[in-house]
Structure 1
Amino acid sequence: MADVNRGNRPLSPHLQIYKPHILMVSSILIRITGNGSTVGIVMVLWWLLAAAAGPETYEAHMAWLTHFWLAKLVWFGLIWALWYHMLGGIRHLIWDEAVGLELETAEKLGWGIVIGSVVGAVLTAIILLIV
């Protein structure tokens, strides 16, 4: 390969030089919540395995889930991640129809995802605590 003097070429811009905005953060969070949902799948499978293992195992598992504050926090985080990822997917379906692509509308949709996911997660947690 020919020597192209790689030492003097400028580097392409990276994340550090960009000012974060809602669309950038939203895009990154959709990827993180999608990947993080695999943790939720493992936890649900763990719960199902505890139920299949018998009443004693299930009761021990449920006692850990209902009394340990970190477990509650993880479950709430997973509920929020599912809401965020779902609402982000709906936004992308809207964008697939070439609707809401203007910068102002796209930013409103980004904030709508943030607010909607928090409200959805809180309502889901309240419903789960009542039932």
Structure 2
Amino acid sequence: MSTRQRPLSPHLQVYRPQITSVLSISHRISGIVNALVALGLAGLLMSVAAGPEAYAQFAAIAGSLPARIALFVFTLSICYHLFNGIRHLFWDAGRGFEMSTVYASGYTVIALALLTTIGIWGVVLGGPA
């Protein structure tokens, strides 16, 4: 029996990225990042349980510039995943499937995630509450 080469369906190399595909992929990536955040929270709790020295070491690492950048990205990931999840709940209810609404809600999710993250970090860094 000979095997025929079947045509491959178009993939990412063929299609130009659109907001719908970018947000879909970003939602999956943010879910993975959020799982990593949960591991970091577990590390925080373990350092608290291990005593003041372990917590001081964890706090020193978390206060470094690379860790603060990672925490900012984690905060953005959590906010994005939350707002895009709410968007998906509307879709589950059968609402918001018109293309204009899909694009508007997509841009709204991005804006809300950025504004909320910046607001949270404004409070964390001692800005106006």
Q: 1:1-24 deviations in whole A, cap 9, x for unaligned?
A: x54x522x3211111101111111
Question: In structure 2, what residue type is equivalent to 1:65?
Answer: A
CA distance in 1 between counterparts of 2:88 and 2:81 reads 10
Partner of 2:18: 21
Normalising by structure 2, report the TM-score: 0.92
Aligned counterpart, 1:37 = 34
In the alignment, which residue of structure 2 is the partner of 1:105? 101
Residue of structure 1 equivalent to 2:51:
54
What is the aligned-residue RMSD (CA, Å)?
Answer: 1.4
Structure 2 Cα separation of the partners of residues 19 and 25 of structure 1? 10
Out of 9-18 and 21-30, give the one that drifted further: 9-18
Q: Gapped runs of 5+ residues in structure 2?
A: none
| Structure 2 partner of 1:122 | 118
- 1:90 corresponding residue in structure 2: 86
- For 1:103, the aligned partner's letter is M
The number of residue pairs the alignment matches comes to 127
CA deviations over 1:51-81 (Å, ceiling 9, x no partner): 1111111112112212x10000111111100
1:31 maps to a residue whose letter is R
Give % identity: 33
- C-alpha distance in 2, partners of 1:102/1:40? 34
How many angstroms does 1:26 deviate by? 0.2
Q: Which has the higher helix share?
A: 1
Which amino acid in 2 is paired with 1:77?
V
In structure 1, what residue type is equivalent to 2:107? W
Q: Secondary structure of the residue that 1:20 maps to in structure 2? A: coil
TM-score, scaled to structure 1: 0.90
Regions of 4+ moved over 3 Å: none
- Kindly state the Cα deviation for residue 129 of structure 1 after the two structures are TM-superposed: 2.2
Alignment partner of 1:73 is 2:108: no
